[in-house]
Chains A and B, each alone.
Chain A
Amino acid sequence: MRSGVPRYVLRRSIAALAVVWGSVTVAFVALHLIGGSPVDAVLGPTVSATPGLRQQIIRAYGFDQPLVVQYGVWLGKLLTGDLGYSYQLNEPVPRVLADQLGPTCQLALAAVGVAVVVALATALLAAGRGRVIGAVVSAVEMAAVSVPQFWFGLLALSVVSFRWRLLPIAGDQGVASLVLPAVTLAVPVAGTLAQVVRAGLEEALAQPFALTVRARGVRESVLRVRHALRHAALPALNLAGWTAGSLLSGAVLVETVFARPGVGRVLITAVTAQDTPVVMAVVMLSATTFTVINLLVDLLVPLLDPRLRDGRATREARA
């Protein structure tokens, strides 16, 4: 495996490209199936244009071409790194997104931090503590996973910001304004992570090695943190790709509820206005993030678990 890593990365990168290509293609087709005139999208809602101007736009953007040709032209531009112009803002798409990436990343990282801390603490404290505690914690986890995010966000706003006036209501004004959105975004992720880590811990604690460790006179907390957590981290790490996806989709809601700038809000605006180039860029960004994170996880897992490091060959030979 040691010598095979570059080849493995190459193979996986090609597969990742295929995934990105597939998702943008699906998004391209879907946007055209929605219907509506792209010319209106370019013109915007308020402008009443002459037929001559409409013709000009159709020619300039190539809307009169068959869909396949439009797709080909768009893909060709994409390969040269040209993401096109936003119909609405009449700005290059990268510039539209560049300002928005920062706030969204900030929000997502804060949410990941909150989710990981809450999930690990819950799992480490609650794993294998008997049926009653297990049932209560499991119910809380289920609630966290299933509560609608916009509802939770609004509830948090009305209580914490309006009634208690503890935190700012909206916008992007430093750390204080990040707290509620980050917590709201973290809730379902924390619920799922806690479920996975707790199940992993309980499985690890039932293994013979856990009995061996206890028989050495080691504290229960040390057994959990030093031994079992590492075993439980593997399934949680494999969820990293899913986590990134759910953070991005959650950001759309959270940024809207809390009136924060960010990619999620740009996406909402772009979809409603049929601003195809912007939507396509966001789709591509999400697909790329998703595949890159999954690739990193697959490279990271053998570093964490020595048993996977020695590769497939040994396991086959042993069998």
Chain B
Amino acid sequence: MTSSAQRYAPLVACDGLTVDFAGCGGRVPAVNGVTLAIAPGECLALVGRSGSGKSVTARALVGLAGPGARVTARRWTVGGNDASRWGPRSWRRIRGRQIGLVLQDALVSLDGMRTVGAEVAEPLRAHRIVPRAKTADRVAQLLSEVGIPDPVRRAAQYPHQLSGGLRQRALLAAGLAAGPALLIADEPTTALDVTVQAQVLGLLGRLRDAGMGLLLISHDLAAVATVADRVAVLHDGSVVEEGPAARVLSDPLHDRTRELLAAVPSVAVRRSAATARPDTGCPVAVPDTATAPPTAQTAARESPLDGAVPPDAVLLDVRSVTKSYPDPHGERRAAVREVSFRLPAGRTLGIVGASGSGKSTTARLVLGLETPDFGSVHFDGELWSGLAERLRRPLRRQIQFVQQDPLSSLDPRWTIGRLLEEALGVRGVPSGSARRDEAVQLLEQVGLEAAHLARRPAQLSGGQQQRVAFARALAPRPRLLVCDEPVSALDSTVQAQILDLLAGLRRRYGLTMLFISHDLRVVRRLCDHVMVMRDGQVVESGSTAGVFDRPQHPYTQALLDALPGWEPGTRPPGARRPGSSPGTASSPYW
């Protein structure tokens, strides 16, 4: 606890908080004696892998641990009052009014059938904060305070009509509406692009500076590092390490903390003279000047690898493709505009950009799932786009696809063995023991074992599911692997393992990969070349080291600047030095 924070009574304090759930064979513990306290103007980060009990702790702190949960504590106060024996009525008065809770994904955390304004107004009505006639004004004020432009119009819109960033701000506005002294934010930035993530973290930082208490829950240490004063590391329902953020992040004491830190992909790009690591350096001579204003002509002319590779080595050649879709008003909107690039065999090209920048449409064009309106895709020197499906189908096994959510891309009713054997059948492996043996080999290649053959996808962890997805994609021995955000749904420890696996597979089999991600750190770690997309166009491309170290286009620079600016092993920038005082607890947050 910082010295300044000790001047205030804690907003919430619990000693030995324990939560368990009714299970088939008795009680199943989820939280084992967590002790924490948060003062006004202080940000405590609760970090840990998925399943460590972070979210259950957060819900228990607002009296919403869920059905069948038993919550006990040696001591538990909210705003100085004993909370351990509160009934539903007392908790209702606290929720929203004294403690606000904001969840991860605003698209599902806001009621999709009600307008954003109605959602923000609800805490005002529940706690009778403002008279009914003034509700609309207050809602607009709240929306504009979290940085939503044109708040009156936005209030009348539905969550799905807002961009991810505006949506998350609206969720925050609803959480803040009744003026809670403590805000619990459960993975508030996990589903967001880097730029939006930085904005939301900035907003949270300003709230803290204005005197609000903040409990930030995350698996992403880099995100936490920018705002947290203190960090508590949770593992199997217990706090294994707690201390000032600067100390915990730069000098971790516990092995679990070190594991979490090791999983943060290094950025090492922030305009420093940091040179590319040898293994990501590009062996192919690529013009490093591939930077230009975002016009279609330059994008087409200066695509990565252009002219630098002998033509026979180019596996994938995308020539000025454009694809547009009709929008709700009947007009056509280009999702991809005159995008060109060439990918030589054995190389990995990363495509980065915010959501809606056309990354996924580009992947679908490459896969032949969409036909370009203009331009063409050539695979291994032959025309691929616009080919009759009858002719293309026998060739499809040469390009395989791995998607973001492994669970929904694997048939839930099939066993892993059946999933893999089907994919092996595509390659013509005879059924029976030969196929089974190959399936086992595939599993071993991705770090799983024969025992997993009989399982179904839902019985595996997220990381294991994605490993199966990779095994299935590799089964037909593809020449090109297209990965669309393959690690975005995984928490950072598992993410690191999957990226290591991919790097290993690439080295061993000389895989050619098209790797799509909104996470620059992931791309940095894995790709030889990068292409930055925005609004359907390529704004910059070149070798990974070149683009990351010397970004030319303002948009690339903005993306890099938005990265949580913290490197494992260094002092986090967000934590204030002891002695600096938090703002007074009251009115305008920012």
Contact = CB atoms under 8 A, between A and B. Distances in A.
Contacts of A222: 126
Q: Which of A207, A213, A314 has the most CB of B within 10 A?
A: A213
A46 B101 CA distance: 80
Contacts of B111: 209, 212-213, 227
B96 interface: yes
A211 interface: yes
B62 A215 contact: yes
A212 B92 contact: no
A217 B328 contact: no
Contacts of A3: 330
Contact of B103 (A208, A304, A314): A208
A313 interface: yes
B113 A307 contact: yes
A113 interface: no
A209 B108 contact: yes
A3 B110 CA distance: 29
A19 to B, nearest CB: 30
Contact of B114 (A207, A208, A227): A227
A132 interface: no
19 contacts: A128-B67, A211-B59, A212-B111, A212-B174, A215-B95, A216-B122, A216-B174, A216-B177, A216-B178, A217-B91, A218-B123, A220-B88, A222-B126, A227-B111, A227-B113, A306-B161, A314-B327, A317-B326, A317-B333
A310 interface: yes
Interface string B224-262: 000000000000000000000000000000000000000
Contacts of B101: 211-212, 215
B340 to A, nearest CB: 22
Interface string A276-318: 0000000000000000000000000000111100110110111
Q: Range of interface residues on chain A?
A: 20 to 34
The 4 closest A-B pairs by CB, nearest first: A215-B101, A217-B95, A217-B96, A216-B96
Interface string A223-240: 000010011000000000
Given A211-B103, A213-B111, 20 more contacts: A3-B330, A209-B109, A209-B110, A212-B171, A215-B96, A216-B177, A216-B178, A217-B91, A217-B123, A217-B178, A218-B122, A220-B88, A227-B111, A306-B113, A306-B158, A307-B158, A313-B325, A314-B327, A317-B333, A317-B335
A1 B326 CA distance: 11
B104 A208 contact: yes
A210 to B, nearest CB: 8
Given A230-B113, A317-B325, A217 B93 contact: yes
A214 interface: yes
Contact of B122 (A211, A213, A230): A213
A307 B112 contact: yes
A215 B64 contact: yes
A130 interface: yes
A163 interface: no
A318 B359 CA distance: 11
Interface in B427-458: none
A216 to B, nearest CB: 4
B136 interface: no
B422 interface: no
Given A217-B93, A310-B160, A231 B62 contact: no
Contacts of B62: 215
Interface of B: 59, 62, 64, 67, 88, 91-97, 100-105, 108-114, 122-123, 126-127, 158, 160-161, 171, 174-175, 177-178, 325-328, 330, 333, 335, 356, 360
A254 B330 CA distance: 51
Contacts of A305: 113
Nearest to B331: A313
A219 B158 contact: no
Given A211-B59, A306-B113, A313 B328 contact: yes
B78 to A, nearest CB: 13
A304 to B, nearest CB: 8
A231 B95 CA distance: 24
Contacts of A310: 160-161, 328
Contact of B113 (A211, A217, A231): A231
B341 to A, nearest CB: 22
A218 B123 CA distance: 7
Given A214-B95, A216-B126, A217-B94, A209 B112 contact: yes
Nearest to B115: A306
Q: Which of A208, A212, A227 has the most CB of B within 10 A?
A: A212
Contacts of A217: 91-97, 123, 126-127, 178
A310 B109 CA distance: 20
Q: Which of A213, A217, A227, A319 has the most CB of B within 10 A?
A: A217
Contacts of A128: 67
> What secondary structure prevails in chain A residues at the interface with B?
helix
A1 B103 contact: no
Given A128-B67, A216-B95, A231-B113, A207 B127 contact: no
A218 to B, nearest CB: 5
Contacts of B67: 128, 130
A209 B126 CA distance: 16
B108 A211 contact: no
Contact of A219 (B92, B171, B326, B330): B92
Nearest to B127: A217
Nearest to A304: B113
Q: Which of A216, A219, A304 has the most CB of B within 10 A?
A: A216
Contact of A212 (B88, B91, B110, B126): B110
Contacts of A318: 356
B103 A212 contact: yes
B174 A313 contact: no
Contacts of A214: 64, 95
A317 B59 CA distance: 36
Interface in A115-141: 128, 130
Contacts of B100: 215
Contacts of B114: 227, 230
A314 B356 CA distance: 12
Nearest to B333: A317
A306 B103 contact: no
A215 B177 CA distance: 12
Contacts of A208: 103-105, 108-109
A305 B112 CA distance: 8
A214 B326 CA distance: 39
A95 to B, nearest CB: 47
A211 B110 CA distance: 10
Nearest to A313: B326
Nearest to B110: A209
B154 to A, nearest CB: 14
A4 to B, nearest CB: 8
Contacts of A209: 108-112
Contacts of B88: 220
